[in-house]
Amino acid sequence: MTSNQTQTVISPSGQYWLMKSEPEAYSWQRLLSEGKTFWEGVRNYQARNNLKQMQVDDLALFYHSVSEKAVVGVCKVTQTAYPDPTDDTGKWVVVDVVPVETLAVPVTLATIKATEALAAIALVRQSRLSVVPLTLAEFELILSMGS
DNA sequence: GCCAACGTTGGC
DNA sequence: GCCAACGTTGGC
């Protein structure tokens, strides 16, 4: 590790994600205070497939949906997909994540939509998908907008 | 609170 | 296997 910045911005697998949560259901502040969580409750096949592709140390933006509509932090995958303990059917999975950093300035959906370079972002194009992939460029741009 | 988008379910 | 009905999500 040469610096904090390198640690934050680089995902060894080259994969980057954005994960959505309603702050009323599970907030960034709660993740900060708990230090770790498993990302439960995904009941959508496409989102599940994204979860299954995650590697340890993949980085993900944490997005507050509905009441806030802003990217608020960066988290990191510490455990790849395993069966969702809150699910009886055995069909669904979770991953473990830990918080990495809080954005100095939340990056709002309105700002993202107004940014030309983010026009293709899956957050906007597939607004109902709760776990979406990001390109490195999208990930880095949102991080820089939030710093 | 409304509505658009979209995923799921079930009848045929 | 199609498609109408329905439920859910999430932005506005």
Give residue A114's Cα distance to chain centre: 20
Q: What is the pLDDT of residues A77-90, one digit of tens each?
A: 999 999 998 887 88
Q: Is any atom of nucleic acid chain B found less than 7 Å from the CB of residue A135? A: no
Give the pLDDT score at A49: 93
The pLDDT, as a whole number, for residue A9 is 76
Confidence of residue A60 (pLDDT cuts 50, 70, 90): very high
Q: Does the C-beta of A110 come within 7 A of strand C? A: yes
Tokens of A65: 């949906």
Nucleotides of strand B within 7 Å of the protein's CB atoms: 5-8
Q: Map residue A124 onto helix, strand or coil.
A: helix
Query: What does the radius of gyration of chain A's CA atoms come to, in whole angstroms?
Result: 14
| Domain extents in chain A | 5-142
Residue–nucleotide distance: A45 CA to B11 C1' (Å): 24
CB contact at 8 A, A122 and A18? yes
pLDDT digits 0-9 by tens, A1-10 = 544 554 567 8
Instruction: Check whether A142 has a pLDDT greater than 60.
Output: yes
Helix (H, G, I), strand (E, B) or coil at A74: strand
| Residue linked to tokens 């409750």 | A41
Asked whether residue A13 carries a pLDDT value surpassing 90, the answer given is yes
Q: Is the Cβ atom of A7 within 7 Å of strand B at any atom?
A: no
CATH second-level architecture of A5-142? Roll (3.10)
Q: Tell me the nt nearest to A47, Cα to C1'.
A: B7
| Contact, A126 CB vs strand B, < 7 Å | yes
Backbone dihedral region of A90: left (phi > 0), alpha (psi from -120 to 50 degrees) or beta? Answer: left
